[in-house]
């Protein structure tokens, strides 16, 4: 079955750029999306179709997807960005989530 791999944690200082990656076989040939989940809240879509940002999502969030890696970039990281981030793709009619990355803003 298809798998997506994420680092368990990433730390960044306020104002810096946070980079969260998601790896999967030929992931660049599929659409990737990203969700933010704060503790006790439902996931929120922050990037879809590799690079698109839903209405209401800050321009500080951007995405890319090429080769075997999709990347979520958060520029000018703020304390409110501290959350779990999940990548997700679709493979042969199945939805697959990455294991999640906990972003800590130091």
Q: Would you state the structure tokens that stand for residue 71, as one six-digit string?
A: 């990347």
**Of 13, 20, 42, 19, which is closest to residue 99 (Cα–Cα)?**
20
Is residue 14 within 8 A of residue 78, CB to CB? The reply is yes
Assess contact for 21 and 100: CB atoms under 8 A.
no
Site for other proteins, residues 8 to 47, rule: CB under 8 A: 31, 33, 35, 37, 42-45
User: Which is closer to other proteins, CB of 77 or CB of 88?
Assistant: 88
Q: Using the rule CB under 8 A, is 2 a contact of other proteins?
A: no
Q: Which of 12, 20, 22, 89 binds other proteins (CB under 8 A)?
A: 89
Instruction: Please give the residue ranges that form the binding site for other proteins (CB under 8 A).
Output: 1, 31, 33, 35, 37, 42-45, 48-49, 54, 84, 86, 88-90, 93-100
């Amino acid at each position: 079955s298809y798998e997506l791999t994420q680092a368990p944690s990433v730390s960044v200082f306020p104002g810096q750029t946070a980079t969260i990656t998601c790896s999967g076989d030929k992931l660049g040939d599929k659409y990737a999306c990203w969700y933010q989940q704060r503790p006790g809240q439902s996931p929120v879509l922050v990037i879809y179709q590799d690079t698109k940002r839903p209405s209401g999502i800050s321009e500080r969030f951007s995405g890319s997807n090429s080769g075997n890696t999709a990347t979520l970039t958060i520029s000018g990281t703020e304390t409110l960005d501290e959350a779990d981030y999940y990548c997700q793709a679709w493979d042969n009619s199945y939805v697959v989530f990455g294991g999640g990355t906990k972003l800590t803003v130091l």
